[in-house]
Structure formats: C-alpha cells, structure tokens
Amino acid sequence: MKLALLSDIHGNQYALSKVIDEIKLQNIDTLIVAGDTVGYYYGIKEVLKMLASFKVHFTKGNHEVMLEQLKHHPEIESELRGKYGSSLQLALCSLSEYEIDQLLNVEHPKSITVENLKILISHGSPWDLNQYLYPDSDKSIWDNFLHYKEDIFVVGHTHYQHVEKVGDKIIVNPGSIGQNRKKSGLADWAVFETESVSVTHYSTPYSTENLINECESIDPEITLLTRQLRFRN
C-alpha cells in the first residue's frame, strides 16, 4: 500500500493541486498530513476541498495552534498579521465551523496503524510540536524516538526533506508543499510504501505567479511571503 506524506501546505492551493495530480496518477487514496495545513497563504478553503477527496490522517502544527489562539483571542490579530500576513484571519472568516474544527480538533501526536505498521504523525517532534528536527540535530534528540512503540514517524515543521533511521525506527520529513525553503516553485512531498517499508521523495513544480500576485495584493508589506516564493538556491 502507498501512502502520500504531506506537510506544511500553508494554504498554497496552487502547489497542492499539482501534487494531487501526481498522487492520483499513482492511485494513492490515503494521505498523511503532518500539520501547518493553514498559515502564510490564502487558499485554505480550496486546500481542504482537495484533501476531502482522500482518506486523510491529520495532525496539527504551530499555525493551527495560532489559528486557535486567534479564534479565542482576536486582539492578537495585529501581532500575527505583522509576522505572518492575513491568512489566519481570512481563514477564520472564510471557513465553516466544521472546517475550522477539522483543523483544530485533531490529536498531536496522532498514532495510526496501516498494514500492521504503527505510524506516529507529529509536526515537530512527538514530544514537542514546535521542535525543529534537522539532520544535524543532536543524537540524543533522535534517540528519544526509541522510547515510542511506533515503527514509522512522519514529521514536518522544518520545510526540508529528510529521512532518519534510529535503530529500527524510520523518521520521515516529506518537506513542505506550500513553502519550499531551498528552491521556489517546487512542492515537496513523499510516498511511503508499506510493503517494502521504503520512502520516495518528490519535488513537484508549480507556478508561483498567481500566489505572488495574491501576496502583493493582500499583504504587500509582509515581504517574507513573496521572498520565499522567489528564492532560488
């Protein structure tokens, strides 16, 4: 069985639509989404509509946490907008209560079993949603995965593709669909095959033109949004 591994979509419907096309070509019907489905960009309504065609195992990320904070404390809107743009406030205005609950009322970490494999989904580490796990992270941090019963771990947050093996544990970061930090115009994701217990990373090209135009129209002062979309390594 093949599972599509996605993370850090960040409301980028243009990137996700191209990835969905490739997922369908591989006849994959089950997705794992490791948080930050929302945030930065504006197409969260379209993103959720696309994901609804699949069986999806969600967990939340730090941008979902901020969305929940904004929902309950609207006075922080100006602070969040100054850092990340208007996407979270626009999400609260455009999404239904059901869609908001879909983003917020999920477990972190989330444990599932597929084809007798135990899989744990988190955004940062399973013990800290905001922890960044990089290839050069201290060995003692990676060794913490040995204390979990799961076999496979899907993480996100860093926006970088990576596979780490610790003992008999496999930790996969599929990279970011919505905001690649190595090269713009690429949506990073991965496929996990349960039979061979193997991971294949993909980088799917998409046009950033429409999204850049949206950022310049809605949040012209937040240069972070367009800088990431124009970045070339």
Q: How many CB atoms lie within 10 A of CB 191?
A: 18
Q: How far is CA 105 from CA 21, 96, 102, 122, 178, in A?
A: 28, 14, 6, 14, 22
Rounded Cα–Cα distance for residues 73 and 222 (Å): 22
Closest Cα to residue 14, out of 233, 218, 213, 227?
A: 213
Indicate the domain borders of the chain.
2-107+174-230
Residue 230 pLDDT? 87
Question: Sign (positive/negative) of CA torsion 195, 60, 130, 229?
Answer: positive
Residue 48 token pair: 């959720």
Provide the pairing of β-strand 152-154 with 117-121: parallel
Rounded Cα–Cα distance for residues 34 and 108 (Å): 9
Residue 192 pLDDT? 98
Residue 232 pLDDT? 65
Q: What is the mean pLDDT of each run of 10 residues along the chain (233 residues)?
A: 98 98 98 98 98 97 98 97 97 96 96 96 98 96 97 97 97 97 95 97 98 97 92 63
Residues in the chain: 233
What percent helix, strand, coil does the chain show, rounded to 5? 35, 25, 40
CA count, 13 A, side-chain hemisphere, 79? 8
Rounded Cα–Cα distance for residues 222 and 57 (Å): 32
Q: Give the homologous superfamily in CATH for domain 2-107+174-230.
A: Metallo-dependent phosphatases (3.60.21.10)
Rounded Cα–Cα distance for residues 14 and 21 (Å): 11
| 60, 69 contact by CB (below 8 A) | no
pLDDT for 35-65, tens place per residue?
999 999 999 999 999 999 999 999 999 999 9
